[in-house]
Amino acid sequence: MTQDALKAMAAQAALEYVTPGEIVGVGTGSTVNHFIRLLAGMKVPVKGAVSSSDASTALLRAAGIATFDASEVQALALYVDGADEIDPRGCMIKGGGAALTREKIVAALARRFICIADASKRVPVLGNFPLPVEVIPMAASRIARQFAAGVCGAQGQATLRLKNGQPLITDNGQHILDVSGLRITDPLAFESAVNQWPGVVTVGIFAHQRAQICLLGTPQGVQTLRFDV
Ligand code: 5RP
| pLDDT tens track, the chain, 229 positions | 999 999 999 999 999 999 999 999 999 999 999 999 999 999 999 999 999 999 999 999 999 999 999 999 999 999 999 999 999 999 999 999 999 999 999 999 999 999 999 999 999 999 999 999 999 999 999 999 999 999 999 999 999 999 999 999 999 999 999 999 999 999 999 999 999 999 999 999 999 999 999 999 999 999 999 997 6
Please name each of the domains of the chain with its CATH number. 3-123+208-226 (3.40.50.1360), 131-203 (3.30.70.260)
Q: Tell me the C-alpha to C-alpha distance, in Å, between residue 45 and each of 20, 24, 52, 63, 145.
A: 5, 11, 20, 12, 49
pTM of the predicted structure, to 2 decimals: 0.97
Nearest to 39, CA basis, from 54, 55, 20: 20
Pocket test for ligand 1, best of 9, 32, 176 (most atoms within 8 A of CB): 32
Q: Which residues pair with 46 in a beta bridge?
A: none
Q: Is 100 in the pocket of ligand 1 (CB under 6 A)?
A: yes
Q: Is 134 in the pocket of ligand 1 (CB under 6 A)?
A: no
Q: Is 28 in the pocket of ligand 1 (CB under 6 A)?
A: yes
Q: Residue 27 C-alpha to ligand 1 middle, in angstroms? A: 8
Which residues belong to the active site?
A: 103
Q: Which residues pair with 218 in a beta bridge?
A: 221
Q: Is 81 in the pocket of ligand 1 (CB under 6 A)?
A: yes
Atom of ligand 1 nearest to the CA of 99: 14
